[in-house]
Amino acid sequence: MSVVTIATTPFNDQRPGTSGLRKKVAVFQQAHYLENFVQSTFDSLDNIQGQTLVVGGDGRFYNEQAIQIILKMAAANGFSHAIVGQNGLLSTPAASCVIRKYKAFGGIILSASHNPAGPNGDFGIKYNINNGGPAPEAITEAIFKNSQSITEYRIVDESDVNLAIIGRQQLANMSIDIIDPVGDYAELMADLFDFESIKTLVSSQSFQMRFDAMHAITGPYAKTILEDLLGAPTGTVINGIPLTDFGGGHPDPNLTYAEQLVAEMFSSNPPVFGAASDGDGDRNMILGANFFVTPSDSLAILAANAHLVPAYQSGLSGIARSMPTSQAPDRVAQKLGIDCHETPTGWKFFGNLLDANKATLCGEESFGTGSNHIREKDGLWAVLFWLNILAKRQLSVAQIVELHWQEYGRNYYTRHDYEAISSDIAKQLMSDLEAQLPSLVGQQLAGRTVAYADNFSYKDPVDNSVSSNQGLRIGFDDGARIVVRLSGTGTEGATLRVYIERYENDKSKLDQDTQKALKPLIDLINELAQITERTGRTEPTVIT
């Protein structure tokens, strides 16, 4: 085996965020940049000799080139086996599934999730541990620490692997299995859901659905599962061919960026059910005919109807939601007599709860939902969950949501994103707003009394680790909330995210327009944080 040791020097910008390291493609293409991060990752892990590594990505530009580098470095660092999706493809949930099924040591997933792709777009890399979930903070901090002192990396001087052919190959002393990226995941979905009931639903003349893969990774998964296995008509999946630039689109499944799907679902003759997923397949948007389901409501409704799904018929051990997600799931948990855990944003915080059986379902307001079947959020899983519910209840999406509100009340909820603003302006805005918080408690604002105002801190109930500075919160005596935080998923400037929520249980007031229902609170946070004055933005980039 011809291992080559390459001298290198640190880059100062390799601290992983909530979902790994994300930068522009050109940054990753710098000499030694990717290699430094991969070696820093391997150096942060114990006992990798003779272990199995799963590798795959969402197919964006630079995916296959990066995989060749990673495989050669894995072989040089002592891994004896690698599992790779054909053509370098593995959705993030499928990668988690494969890690768990084959009891791999861990996996490297190449994705920048919902961020745009192409030569001028974004790229990302993250390490997932043996439970299939994102590396915890102890590992990501170790990776960053190593990246700041690295002096060399190891790589084998061998020819590239043929990623197109399914089967076993050899790279130096490491065997590599190229696998069908869809097969293991599809098998897992068939074990979780009532495929026979869903087949009957999607093949009926009265039921039409549309799934928008946004030219991203879920195209092959959706075609195989929805059209081939479940019998949905050909053409149910649109934009189903993964492209290295995602067709020039922004593969973020929301009302702004899933423009084609939204136009069809809000047309005069819409399908009964619509859904979309994102760049790496871990997010979902659920739509009915002329009806949008907020991700917070979706999590609550999945929990309330989990008894209809084979995998969850025995009950839920708990629910977990990120702090900015609405409190709608809390009300379901209360009725079920189970805990609802509130965590920081970032799927890695759910891992301990799932492993300890303190939660079965979990979700984030940023269109991510999942369960204990893997350790990542899972877009297509959420779509199948909804189809299972629709098949059993024989009601429309709107009817299911509205009946839920009648039973539990409605958490009016919105998120306002201000994308690509100056990082300096964003940081100063947050700092100045946080300085105001202590003085707000007890004040009458927007017709409510401020009950608390703080910077959210989380103590993990499993390992007692503490994560501080997770978002600014202003909470009111009637349960209404405003949350402000900076997103860690962008690569250009900063994204300021503002979350506004209030609860309504008057059954005659459950059909108001969300933005109008929340306008006093929207106006309040704009005034307190001086968003327009500081950013120059008169409206958000995205409203969900």
Positions marked active-site: 113
Q: Within 13 Å of residue 512, how many CA atoms lie on the same side as its CB?
A: 20
Residue type (1 letter), 420: A
Backbone Cα Rg of the chain = 23
- 12 contact partners, CB below 8 Å, separation of at least 6: 148
Phi-psi domain of 82 (left: phi exceeds 0; alpha: psi -120 through 50; beta: other): beta
What would the two tokens of residue 390 be? 């629709």
Residue 362 φ/ψ, nearest 5 degrees? -150, 160
H helix runs in 175-290, sequence order: 183-192, 195-202, 218-222, 259-265
First to last CA, the chain: 53
> 3-class SS at 378?
coil
CA distance 350 to 282: 14
Residue 457, helix vs strand vs coil:
coil
CA distances from 86 to 11, 57, 280, 471 (A): 31, 10, 15, 39
Instruction: Give 543: exposed, middle or buried? Use CB within 10 Å, 0-12, 13-18, 19+.
Output: middle
Hey, what's the torsion of the CAs at 114, 118, 124, 129, to 10 degrees? 80
DSSP 227: I
Check if the beta carbon of residue 98 is closer than 8 Å to that of residue 179: yes
Look-up of token digits 């869809």: 182
Q: Starting at the earlier edge strand, list the strands of the sheet with 339-343.
A: 339-343, 318-322, 361-364, 368-371
CA distance 15 to 196: 46
- The conformation of residue 312, written as its DSSP 8-state character, comes to G
Phi first, then psi: give them for residue 231, nearest 5 degrees: 85, 15
300: left (phi over 0), alpha (psi -120 to 50) or beta: alpha
Beta strands in 115-193 (DSSP E): 122-128, 152-156, 167-171, 174-179
CA distance 393 to 288: 15
CB atoms within 10 A of CB 2: 9
Lookup: tokens for 113: 């999730």
Strands 237-238 vs 209-212: parallel, antiparallel or unpaired: parallel
DSSP E strands, 30-135: 52-57, 81-89, 106-110, 122-128
Which residues 6+ apart lie within 8 Å of 458 measured at CB?
Answer: 323, 342, 343, 344, 349, 466, 467, 468, 470
